[in-house]
Amino acid sequence: MTYELLAQTPSVADFRRLREVAGLSTKTQEAAERGLKGTLFAVVILSEGRTVAMGRVIGDGGCHYQIVDMAVEPEHQGRGLGKRIFAALMDWLHENAPKSAYVSLIADGDARHLYAKYGFEPVMPASIGMAQWIGGRPAKGT
């Protein structure tokens, strides 16, 4: 199977589908439409012309950046696609983010091992991540 990595923001439909099938929280159509407009940089991976993986960088473009929406379709997992996406996002950050920029992410499960290879480390006990979901906690993909 061949894969093509492209520097582009996923479509709303692909974004919502990939989040769901990868087990991330679901997003409404409105939330996805608004949120994707705020992408600073994104990559998708295509297989036979179909988007099967994605990752994005969001933030203020100067002080704060966050890596989000790392998602790979289950049938394409274990083939290094997450590593390819993460490397592309980190290359972009190193080329575009100014010195002193703070880059954060939420590491779910074993993904923390991949992120650690790129220099990410837990912020506890000095800091702790906190969150709130407007309208209640969204459902996870199935």
1: pLDDT confidence band, cut at 50, 70 and 90?
A: confident
Exposed, middle or buried, 59 (CB in 10 Å: 0-12/13-18/19+)? buried
- CA–CA dist 19, 54 (Å, integer): 9
* Residue 142: pLDDT band with limits 50, 70, 90: very low
CB 114 within 8 A of CB 86: yes
> pLDDT (tens digit, 9 = 90+) per residue, 24-52?
999 999 999 999 999 999 999 999 999 99
Short-list 79, 97, 78, 80, CA closest to 89:
97
The model's pLDDT over 46-101, given as tens digits with 9 standing for 90+, comes to 999 999 999 999 999 999 999 999 999 999 999 999 999 999 999 999 999 999 99
